[in-house]
Amino acid sequence: MAKLLFKLAGVPEDEAEGVRQLLEDNNIEYYETSSGLLGLSFAAIWIKQDDAIELANELLNNFQHERYLRAKKDQEVARQNGTSQNYLQAFIQSPLLNLLVILFVLALLYFVLSPFLVPA
């Protein structure tokens, strides 16, 4: 019976491709399910052999740890070079979009809370 290895919902394509390549390099048979046309199905990578799931999990954990360390290192290099963005810089880069988001959130809060705030 197939075992779930990796959920693909919200995963960047390069990470999913890395997991596929990792399984192929280690001769682990797998198959992939997509989220379907309407996005209602379960997108994931499944391991076909029951005895290979432990090896696949170990390889996946190592892969994700290495990916985390690489991203952390890239972030630190960007911070040292002054190319990383903080929240204020991101806000300044697209102020109209951020202002629209803030107005939308405030309007949403108003409509949700107004029945409780208006005296009867």
Tens-place pLDDT, residues 4-30: 999 999 899 999 999 999 999 999 999
Q: Which two tokens stand for residue 83?
A: 């190319």
What CATH number labels 3-84? 3.30.70.1530
pTM beyond 0.85: the answer is no
**Domain segments of the chain: what residues?**
3-84, 86-120
Contact 15, 67 (CB under 8 A): yes
Contact 60, 8 (CB under 8 A): no
| φ and ψ of 20, to 5 deg | -60, -45
Kindly report, residue by residue over 28-44, the tens digit of the pLDDT: 999 999 988 887 888 99
55 vs 83 pLDDT, higher one: 55
| Residue 85 pLDDT | 77
